[in-house]
Amino acid sequence: MIKSKIRVLIIEDSKLYQMYLKQVIESDECLAVAGMADCGSRALEMIPELKPDIITLDLQLPDSDDFSLLKEILQRWDTPVIVVSGDASACEKAIRLGATDFIEKMQDAKIKTAEQFKLLLKLKLKMQAEIHPEPVKRRFAEARKKKETAVQPTAPPNPPATRARRKNQGWGGGNPQRHIIAIGASLGGTEATLQILRQLPDNLPGIVIVQHMPPEFTRAYAMRLDSCCSLSVHEAENRDPVLPGTVIVAKGGEHMSVYRSREGYRVKVGGTEKIGGFCPSVDVMFRSVAQAAGPSALGVILTGMGRDGADGLRRMHDSGAYTLGQDKESCVVFGMPGVAWKTGGVDKLLTPDEIAGEIIRYCSLYKKSEADKI
């Protein structure tokens, strides 16, 4: 729980954009601007003086190259840095270097674009404040260590249980490759998904994610998730296997579906026509999971505008999958999960923290079932 205002240092060379960011940040009662710097040298003087909780960083400054200031900040202080940039490849490199997050710099003055930027920026700042009590470097180091020492569990196959039994006892046992978790999200979903994945162990069934975002930024988003959790996360490539302990994020601008091969689940990437106004489409993924996995799937629909994913989740639900939705109070926009709930596609509405706990509980029960048989 945030008890005092989150103090933000803005590093941005454009005076006009400085003032815009200040206006956005201070429109939220939980946030305050601690200071503004228009160059790297001034920023390095201000950080020890102001001791900000979070820094927003424009990578293009007059007195430093794209990454020298970021490197120095990360070496000298343990303060979260959110990169504000319109360059997707620069965001990818910033995440590799240790930036906590990124947000695409607003490129136009459309009202919808501006409103989404405002919501996302404030959400990202508050999200980082909630997780900051554990130092950033230590958290990233521990996530990497878990990946290096992870051992994937194996278990003998077992016929899937009926839906009624699964709801009370989990997936009824068997190899985790028999099962799959599908997550769909839009506006605000980047933070909700991170909140969920950070709490999940690395021995769960494979996870597939469709998140609405610009095509150039999904790779950087996958890298960011990978750096923050013990699961292995990457952007989708055609025919990628959906393996236990791994997360596959759909490419922006291309649909992703799931099919079943002799070896297990794989993803198919392709098709650029918008469906229901979106590409990738959550509905496309959910429908394919319903067909490929049926009752061996768990579906999750998170915050977002519109109804993408509602029909597909209902199809998963009707095929015997267990389905969860983000509740209204924790959503940025209760559109997608709201429609899914009204149309009967959601078994439970929960907060992101509760969703993480329910996934763990649900998956652990089938492991316990197998252990009891030995």
Active site positions, annotated: 186, 212, 308
d(CA 351, CA 21): 29
Record the tokens describing residue 148, joined without a space.
């290096």
Smallest CA-to-CA distance from 153 within 245, 29, 233, 61 is with: 245
Closest CA to 207 of 196, 216, 218: 196
Report residue 150: phi and psi, to 5°: -65, 140
What does the radius of gyration of the chain's CA atoms come to, in whole angstroms?
A: 21
Asked if 288 and 309 touch (Cβ cutoff 8 Å), the reply is no
Produce one character per residue of 154-184: b if its CB has 16 or more CB atoms within 10 Å, e if not. ebeebebbeeeebeeebbbbbbbbbbbbbbb
Residue reference for tokens 């759909």: 250
Beta strand 264-269 with 256-261 is: antiparallel
